[in-house]
Amino acid sequence: MTSLPAREATAGAAVSDGSLYDLDRILWADGRAADLRARYHGLAGQALLEPLLKWEFPGHVAQVSSFGTEAAVLLALVAEVDPSVPVIFLETGKHFGETLRYRDKLTKLLGLTDVRSVGPDPKALAAKDPDGMLFQRGPDSCCFIRKVAPLHAALKPFDAWITGRKRHQGGMRIDLRYIESVAGQVKINPLADHTPDDIKAEFERRALPRHPLEAEGFLSVGCMPCTDRTPDGADPRAGRWTGKDKTECGIHTAPAGT
Mean pLDDT of the chain: 86
Q: Give the angle 152-156-158 at the CA atoms, nearest 5°.
A: 120
Summarize the confidence of residues 218-231 as an average pLDDT. Answer: 83
* Residues with a known catalytic role: 249
Q: pLDDT for 41-62, tens place per residue?
A: 999 999 999 999 999 999 999 9
For residue 197, count CB atoms less than 10 angstroms from its CB and return exposed for 0-12, middle for 13-18, buried for 19 or more: exposed
131/128 Cα distance (integer angstroms): 9
214/24 Cα distance (integer angstroms): 43
Residues 6+ away with beta carbon under 8 Å from 171: 235, 237, 247, 248
Q: Give the angle 97-100-106 at the CA atoms, nearest 5°.
A: 135
Summarize the confidence of residues 63-76 as an average pLDDT. Answer: 96
The upper half-sphere exposure of residue 26, i.e. CA atoms within 13 Å in the direction of its Cβ, equals: 16
Torsion of CA 124, 141, 187, 222, to 10 degrees: 100
- Statement: residue 18 has pLDDT above 60: no
pLDDT band at 236 (very low <50, low <70, confident <90, very high): low
Helix, strand, coil: what percent of the chain each, to 5?
45, 10, 45
Complete DSSP assignment for 135-161: HHH-HHHHHIIIIIHHHHHHHTT-SEE
Comparing 90 with 182, the larger pLDDT belongs to 90
pLDDT band at 71 (very low <50, low <70, confident <90, very high): very high
Q: What is the pTM of this model?
A: 0.86
> How do beta strands 61-64 and 160-162 pair?
parallel
Does the domain at residues 14-239 carry the CATH identifier 3.20.20.140?
no
Residues 6+ away with beta carbon under 8 Å from 120: 92, 93, 145, 146, 149, 150
